[in-house]
């Protein structure tokens, strides 16, 4: 019987995973704890990974081999230990993943089947084969292109080799214990959350998705990040629903594919402005800028919606999309700090932290990315709060100091700022003018 190695990465599930069908009949399941990825992750995301690995191990009947090391070195070593003819993966399109896989493929026959996306990056192109740079036409093409139905796979698709029967004792490690309790991870948890969202909130998604106080978005980003579920499974369900909510949701899932596509075309955009002219923008540096950055990180800017968002991030490792836009705009346009400083902080704290969606979400806000918000659009944190958290419940949920203030008055805090809540660290009107002046200097 041919034996192969299935190397799990961002696909921590067994359902709807074409990699498994491609891998033959008998395989060893492997996950590599790679310090180059774990290092920048931050505790909450690492913990979710560990819980996902435990769930996957259970699905494999306790037969997931987990090793710590450099994949370029350990994957070929383990493939050799079981005399695997092939190493099967779901393709990784990120800058680091592509480089790593190319290096691994120099030593083993690396077979990539499927990807974490509905349509793999690079496939949706203009008629002449060139890439799109703007979402709306790309989205139309994405819809026209279509995607496969979910793959019929499960824990029994393969006969899993028991790592105890293989000589891997020198590299085998146990799945690290998470620091504490947290969001349930793994395929069963993802499917349960998805069903719950479809039953309870999808119908209202179009109207309520911008309302952090109502908190009715799906929170599927975390499960998608680790591949506890494939977007194809979700899209198949959405196709059966046929509601405005389902259509809007499909569009949001498309943004995830779009940003992965953009990062694939332009790997440099993970670290640099997508639109180069923004390289010339003036940023603040030095001690005062660092103090403002610290206030932003700690949720004590004196702007309630910004602070609520940053405190939600610190507590839950997640933040509502609308609030992500508001806090990002505040960092870039009110504090005049570079977007990558905020993006790095997000990547350290978000459980769903994803290089493509995060860096491009930030660049959208900063004005330097694809489809970017025009630079002259500077979010007013008070009116944004009043508009999208009109009950004020979101702010009160995250800022106990403000719980005594009713309704949307909690945003402007006119004559009602409690002593234990900070004064605004900047004057928004003044910083707006300053931001516009700096953007105006760009030719």
* Contacts with 382 (C-beta within 8 Å, 6 or more apart), sequence order: 303, 305, 411, 412, 428
As given in the structure block, the two tokens for residue 319 are 């933040």
Question: Does 10 sit near ligand FAD (CB under 6 A)?
Answer: no
Question: Does 354 sit near ligand FAD (CB under 6 A)?
Answer: yes
Question: Does 348 sit near ligand FAD (CB under 6 A)?
Answer: no
CB atoms within 10 A of CB 177: 10
Question: Does 217 sit near ligand FAD (CB under 6 A)?
Answer: yes
Candidates 215-223, 272-280, 394-402, 418-426 — which segment interacts with ligand FAD by CB under 6 A?
215-223
Which CB, 105 or 236, lies closer to ligand FAD?
236
Candidates 46-54, 116-124, 358-366, 421-429 — which segment interacts with ligand FAD by CB under 6 A?
358-366
Cα separation values, 423 from 33, 302, 416, 418, Å: 44, 5, 11, 9
Site for ligand FAD in 26-45 (CB under 6 A): none
Question: Does 321 sit near ligand FAD (CB under 6 A)?
Answer: yes
**Cβ of residue 82: shortest distance to ligand FAD, in angstroms?**
35
As given in the structure block, the two tokens for residue 225 are 């990040």
Candidates 90-98, 129-137, 180-188, 354-362 — which segment interacts with ligand FAD by CB under 6 A?
354-362
Question: Does 312 sit near ligand FAD (CB under 6 A)?
Answer: no
Which CB, 256 or 333, lies closer to ligand FAD?
256
Cα–Cα distance, 308 to 413 (Å, whole number): 14
Cα–Cα distance, 76 to 264 (Å, whole number): 26
Whether 147 and 254 have beta carbons less than 8 Å apart is answered as: no
* Contacts with 235 (C-beta within 8 Å, 6 or more apart), sequence order: 118, 147, 250, 253
Cα–Cα distance, 122 to 297 (Å, whole number): 36
Residue nearest to ligand FAD (CB): 361
**Cβ of residue 363: shortest distance to ligand FAD, in angstroms?**
9
Q: Which of 168, 185, 224, 238 binds ligand FAD (CB under 6 A)?
A: 224
Cα–Cα distance, 307 to 323 (Å, whole number): 10
Question: Does 335 sit near ligand FAD (CB under 6 A)?
Answer: no
* Contacts with 65 (C-beta within 8 Å, 6 or more apart), sequence order: 28, 29, 30, 31, 78, 163, 166, 168, 172
Helix (H, G, I), strand (E, B) or coil at 68: strand
Which CB, 160 or 362, lies closer to ligand FAD?
362
**Ramachandran angles phi, psi of 382, nearest 5°:** -80, -50
Whether 77 and 172 have beta carbons less than 8 Å apart is answered as: no
Question: Does 221 sit near ligand FAD (CB under 6 A)?
Answer: yes
Question: Does 358 sit near ligand FAD (CB under 6 A)?
Answer: yes
Residue 55, H or E segment: helix 43-59
**Cβ of residue 156: shortest distance to ligand FAD, in angstroms?**
29
Question: Does 214 sit near ligand FAD (CB under 6 A)?
Answer: no
Candidates 75-83, 216-224, 261-269, 282-290 — which segment interacts with ligand FAD by CB under 6 A?
216-224
Question: Does 117 sit near ligand FAD (CB under 6 A)?
Answer: no
Question: Does 273 sit near ligand FAD (CB under 6 A)?
Answer: no
Enumerate binding residues for ligand FAD (CB under 6 A).
209, 217-221, 224-225, 252-253, 255-256, 259, 321, 324-325, 328, 346, 350, 352-354, 357-358, 361-362, 365
């Amino acid at each position: 019987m041919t034996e192969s190695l299935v190397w799990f990465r961002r696909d921590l599930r067994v359902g709807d995973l074409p990699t498994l069908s491609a891998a033959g009949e008998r395989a060893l399941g492997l996950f590599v704890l790679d310090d180059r990825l774990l290092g920048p992750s931050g505790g909450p995301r690492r913990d979710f990974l560990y819980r996902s690995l435990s769930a996957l191990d259970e699905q494999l009947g306790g037969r997931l081999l987990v090793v710590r090391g450099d994949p370029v070195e350990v994957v070929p070593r383990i493939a050799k230990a079981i005399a695997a003819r092939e190493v099967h993966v779901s393709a990784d399109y990120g800058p680091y993943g592509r480089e790593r896989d190319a290096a691994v493929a120099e030593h083993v026959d690396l077979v990539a089947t499927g990807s974490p996306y509905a349509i793999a990056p690079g496939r949706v192109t203009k008629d002449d084969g060139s890439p799109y740079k703007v979402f709306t036409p790309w989205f139309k093409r994405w819809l026209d292109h279509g995607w496969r139905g979910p793959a019929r796979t499960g824990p029994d698709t393969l006969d899993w080799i028991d790592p105890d029967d293989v000589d891997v004792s020198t590299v085998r490690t146990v799945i690290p214990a998470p620091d504490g309790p947290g969001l349930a991870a793994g395929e069963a948890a993802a499917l349960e959350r998805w069903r719950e969202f479809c039953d309870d909130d999808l119908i209202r998604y179009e109207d309520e998705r911008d309302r952090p106080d109502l908190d009715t978005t799906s929170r599927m980003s975390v499960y998608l990040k680790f591949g506890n579920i494939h977007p194809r499974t979700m899209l198949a369900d959405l196709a059966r629903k046929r509601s405005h909510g389902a259509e809007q949701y499909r569009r949001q899932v498309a943004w995830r594919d779009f940003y992965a596509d953009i990062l694939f075309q332009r790997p440099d955009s993970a670290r640099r402005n997508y639109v180069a002219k923004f390289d010339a923008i003036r940023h603040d540096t030095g001690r005062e800028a660092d103090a403002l950055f610290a206030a932003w990180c700690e949720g004590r800017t004196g702007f309630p919606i910004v602070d609520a968002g940053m405190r939600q991030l610190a507590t839950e490792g997640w933040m509502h999309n609308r609030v992500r836009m508001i806090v990002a705009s505040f960092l870039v346009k009110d504090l005049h700090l570079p977007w990558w400083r905020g993006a790095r902080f997000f990547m350290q704290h978000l459980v769903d932290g994803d290089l493509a969606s995060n860096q491009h979400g930030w660049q959208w806000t900063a004005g330097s990315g694809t489809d970017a918000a025009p630079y002259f659009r500077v979010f007013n944190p008070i009116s944004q709060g009043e508009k999208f958290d009109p009950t004020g419940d979101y702010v009160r949920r995250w800022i106990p100091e403000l719980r005594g203030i009713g309704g949307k008055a909690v945003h402007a805090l006119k004559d009602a700022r409690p002593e234990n809540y900070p004064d605004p660290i900047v004057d928004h009107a003044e910083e707006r003018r300053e931001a516009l002046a700096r953007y105006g200097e760009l030719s």
